[in-house]
């Protein structure tokens, strides 16, 4: 009789349903581990006995290092077990939750549960915001913490019945099917079920305003004009934009006068340093710079206009993805850029991914601090060697 009941409970929980079986001894304890109780009283060493708020009696056994089992009883009859081996596990008896940690600690509460979950954002009683979603590869449900509007990364259910997480002080459980989501904040007077906030809004990166023009435009010859703009890398960094009717546009990145990287008509993209030239073969090229990859938008500036009467630039040969001549080495089968000169000390080496305009750089104590005004950007980890 008890074996059949435990099987029914486990099967229903796998389907993400709340269980209320009709039995004389009361509702069933949702078993996450092997049933023990009266059928297996000698397995492990009894360390203590607890009584939950609904009258359920729980006996805690130590089975080994970081390995405990909790056997639950109602009116003296065993109703199920939960076993924590190396990680916490949880059980639910009609809204009475029990979490057993791998060190033998327990946590129990009544309620604070949502049974009909859906993908989106949830707020816990302490203000913590979590996003519930599915793994696109295998369909498992999972949670990720949302901080400052950004997700910290999903972790997914890893147990046949339910998985336990801790976010700050809050302890949460999520059924494998996603149909049961409960939370408890130990020591807090405010307790509540997770509150659904809706789906996560899709935010598109905002366009960045043009960089400040520091000097120019200055005509240096009949059909050559230059201007200097502020670099997104912060104080001490500038970009010199040159527009020449014969040679085409050129952008030179400098750090306190030292040339660090160049983009031009022949090589319009330097993904390592976030430099990009568009419309390089026209009279109206524009220059973009950024300090992060992915969907981070570029900060665009038009090249200074050529003087009146200058001819259309001569078309260049097809561009090749080369910018500077860095010294390279291999790390984990990939190529990393090794900076030279005064910026090399303290550099944090990383890989350069082709096709992803991400550039990482780390300045040393001897190099200027990289702080982008108004950007809050992540410092670059990878740099190409200085040219010239």
Q: pLDDT tens, 320-371?
A: 554 444 444 444 443 333 334 433 333 333 333 333 333 333 333 333 333 3
pLDDT band at residue 318, thresholds of 50, 70 and 90?
low
Tell me the whole-structure pTM to 2 decimals: 0.47
The percentage of residues in the chain with a pLDDT greater than 90, rounded to a whole number, is 55
Identify the three-state secondary structure at position 142: strand
- Those residues whose C-beta lies under 8 Å from the C-beta of residue 151, and which sit 6 or more positions away, are 131, 144, 145, 200
pLDDT over threshold 80, residue 5: no
- The top-scoring range by mean pLDDT among 33-42, 241-250, 288-297 is 241-250
Residue with tokens 């009361």: 26
Contact by Cβ (8 Å): 317, 266: yes
Question: How far is Cα 237 from Cα 358, in angstroms, rounded to an integer?
Answer: 18
User: What is the per-residue pLDDT for 97?
Assistant: 97
Q: Which of 12, 56, 74, 63 is nearest to 34 (CA)?
A: 63
User: What is the per-residue pLDDT for 235?
Assistant: 84
Helix spans in 139-226 (H): none
- Residue 250: enclosing H or E segment and its boundaries? strand 248-255
Contact by Cβ (8 Å): 350, 356: no
Q: How far is CA 310 from the centre of its chain?
A: 50
Range scoring the smallest mean pLDDT among 71-85, 101-115, 177-191, 195-209: 195-209
- Average per-residue pLDDT in the chain? 76
Question: How far is Cα 85 from Cα 163, in angstroms, rounded to an integer?
Answer: 13
Question: How far is Cα 270 from Cα 352, in angstroms, rounded to an integer?
Answer: 11
Cα-based distances in Å from 354 to 52, 81, 188, 321: 58, 52, 49, 9
User: What is the per-residue pLDDT for 70?
Assistant: 96
Residue with tokens 């360390």: 47
Q: How many helices (H) and strands (E) does the chain have?
A: 1, 28
Q: Which of 258, 372, 371 is nearest to 324 (CA)?
A: 258
The β-bridge partners of 269 are 276
Q: pLDDT tens, 123-171?
A: 999 999 999 999 999 999 999 999 888 898 999 999 899 999 999 999 9
> Read out DSSP for 59-118?
EEEEEETTEEEEEEEETTEEEEEEEEESS-EEEEETTEEEEE-TTS-EEEEE--EESS--
């Amino acid at each position: 009789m008890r074996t059949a009941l435990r099987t029914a409970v486990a099967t229903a929980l796998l389907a993400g349903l709340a269980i209320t079986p009709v039995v004389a001894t009361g509702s069933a304890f949702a078993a996450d581990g092997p049933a023990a109780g009266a059928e297996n009283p000698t397995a492990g060493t009894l360390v203590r006995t607890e009584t939950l708020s609904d009258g359920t009696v729980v006996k805690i056994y130590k089975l080994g290092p970081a390995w405990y089992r909790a056997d639950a009883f109602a009116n003296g009859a065993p109703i199920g077990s939960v076993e924590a081996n190396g990680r916490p596990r949880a059980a639910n008896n009609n809204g009475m939750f029990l979490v057993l940690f791998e060190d033998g600690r327990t946590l129990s509460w009544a309620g604070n549960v949502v049974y009909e979950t859906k993908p989106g954002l949830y707020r816990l009683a302490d203000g913590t915001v979590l996003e519930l979603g599915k793994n696109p590869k295998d369909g498992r449900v999972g949670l990720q913490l949302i901080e400052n509007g950004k997700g910290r990364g999903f972790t997914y259910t890893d147990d046949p019945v339910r998985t336990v997480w801790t976010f700050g002080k809050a302890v949460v459980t999520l059924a494998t099917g996603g149909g049961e989501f409960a939370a408890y904040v130990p020591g807090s007077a405010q307790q509540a079920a997770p509150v659904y906030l809706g789906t996560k809004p899709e935010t598109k990166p905002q366009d960045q305003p043009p960089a400040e023009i520091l000097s120019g435009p200055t005509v240096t010859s009949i059909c050559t004009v230059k201007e200097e703009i502020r670099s997104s890398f912060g104080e001490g960094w500038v970009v010199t934009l040159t527009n020449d009717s014969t040679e085409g546009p050129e952008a030179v990145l400098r750090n306190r006068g030292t040339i660090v990287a160049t983009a031009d008509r022949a090589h319009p993209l330097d993904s390592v340093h976030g430099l990009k030239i568009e419309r390089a073969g026209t009279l109206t090229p524009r220059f973009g710079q950024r300090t992060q990859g992915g969907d981070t938008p570029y900060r665009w500036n038009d090249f200074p206009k050529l003087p009146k009467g200058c001819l259309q630039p001569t078309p260049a040969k097809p561009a090749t993805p080369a910018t500077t001549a860095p010294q390279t080495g291999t790390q984990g089968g990939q190529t990393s850029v090794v900076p030279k000169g005064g910026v090399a000390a303290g550099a944090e080496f990383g890989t350069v991914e082709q096709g992803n305009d991400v550039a990482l750089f780390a300045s040393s104590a001897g190099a200027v601090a990289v702080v982008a005004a108004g950007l809050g950007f992540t410092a670059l980890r990878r740099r190409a060697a200085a040219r010239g």
